[in-house]
Each structure stands twice: as C-alpha cells, then as structure tokens.
C-alpha cells in the first residue's frame, strides 16, 4: 500500500510540459526571492522537516545558471593571464541558500530542495525556521537552531547542500 506522499511525488514527476511552461513563465516574472505560503512539493518538504506551524517559512529562490566570468582586465598583463571564465565552487542549491540567509538574517535554514530548471534559471525552495519563536524553542527536534553555535549555517557551508558542495557528503 502506497502512502499519499508517494502519489504526490508521482504527480510532480508527471506534470505535462504545458503545465510547466505556464508555471515557469510566472516564476520568471516574479522576484528572485519570494516567500510562499505552501510548499510546491509537499512530499519533499515534509521529508526534509517542514511542518505547517508558526515559526516555519518557505522561500522560493531563483538562481541564474551557467558559467561565471571575471571582469575584463584592461592593461598590464600578458595574454596567458587574461583567462576570464570561472568555475563556481558551490552548487546552485548552496548559492540559493546563502542568498536567502542574507535576505532573512533572523531565521535559520533547515533544508532546501530543487523545484525546476530551464536554460537560464534554477529554482529552489528553502525551508527556514525562526529560532526566536517559542514553538521552535519548545520542539526538542528543532531547538538546536536556537543556539549561537548554529547561526548562519548556510553562509558557512554547514547545510546539507553546502556539505555536498564541499565534498563532505
């Protein structure tokens, strides 16, 4: 017997291309970082620790895909040192988490998951918790985030995707 979340997972995987087109078109027009009310992928959010109670927030973030470039140097170097292409040291998901952490400095990142990607952008949903809320402080599974030792984990590469981009997972 299958769980209801497995049916949700199958429905997400079997979305028609026309559905995706309209969803991604709306997301492209919206801001880069958007707070959303409900998770787009409930099965994934619940698996990563999301609960529908106060103290939790969901943020959808858009990251530009593709290579990065250094600005062009104007003078004083030989052509062998003029290389401009850079390989990004972090994966897109940890970049997205770091941007959300800077936007919401009073909250902590619990986890994140991929939503979609096209030729230009990748979208992620980030689960955040507010350590100042009494609901979070009373929850024995989440009150680790209330200590100062665990502040701004995403900026230090301590989330799951940050550890993955540092080859620790």
Tell me, yes or no, whether 12 lies in a domain.
no
Given a cut of 80, is residue 77 above it in pLDDT? no
- Decide: 121 and 66 in contact? Cβ < 8 Å: no
Report phi then psi at 60, rounded to 5.
Answer: -95, 130
The pLDDT of residue 90 is: 87
Tell me, yes or no, whether 9 lies in a domain.
no
Tell me, yes or no, whether 14 lies in a domain.
no
The pLDDT of residue 51 is: 94
Instruction: Give the total residue count for the chain.
Output: 169
The pLDDT of residue 134 is: 94
Given a cut of 80, is residue 165 above it in pLDDT? yes
> Average pLDDT of 81-102?
88
pTM passes above 0.85: yes
pLDDT in tens, 104-131: 999 999 999 999 999 999 999 999 999 9
- Decide: 28 and 121 in contact? Cβ < 8 Å: yes
pLDDT in tens, 20-32: 899 999 999 999 9
Tell me, yes or no, whether 31 lies in a domain.
yes
pLDDT band at 70 (very low <50, low <70, confident <90, very high): confident
Q: Which CATH number characterizes residue 136's domain?
A: 3.40.1120.10
Tell me, yes or no, whether 110 lies in a domain.
yes
Number of structural domains (the chain) is 1
**Domain region containing 122:** 26-71+80-165
The pLDDT of residue 160 is: 92
Tokens for 139, please give them.
């929850």
Tokens for 113, please give them.
């998951």
Tell me, yes or no, whether 6 lies in a domain.
no
Tell me, yes or no, whether 3 lies in a domain.
no
Tell me, yes or no, whether 4 lies in a domain.
no
């Amino acid at each position: 017997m299958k769980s209801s979340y497995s049916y949700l997972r199958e429905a997400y995987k079997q979305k028609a291309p026309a559905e995706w087109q309209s969803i991604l078109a709306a997301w492209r027009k919206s801001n880069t970082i958007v707070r959303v009310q409900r998770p787009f992928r409930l099965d994934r959010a619940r698996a990563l620790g999301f609960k529908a109670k106060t103290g939790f927030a969901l943020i959808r973030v858009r990251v530009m895909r593709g290579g990065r470039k250094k600005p062009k140097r104007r003078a004083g170097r030989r052509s062998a040192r003029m290389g401009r292409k850079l390989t990004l040291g972090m994966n897109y998901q940890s970049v997205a988490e770091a941007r959300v952490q800077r936007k919401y400095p009073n909250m902590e990142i619990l986890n994140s998951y991929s939503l979609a990607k096209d030729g230009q952008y990748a979208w992620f949903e980030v689960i955040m918790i507010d350590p100042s809320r009494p609901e979070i402080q009373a929850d024995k599974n989440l009150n680790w985030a209330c200590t100062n030792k665990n502040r701004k984990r995403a900026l230090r590469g301590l989330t799951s995707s940050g550890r993955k981009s540092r080859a620790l997972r």
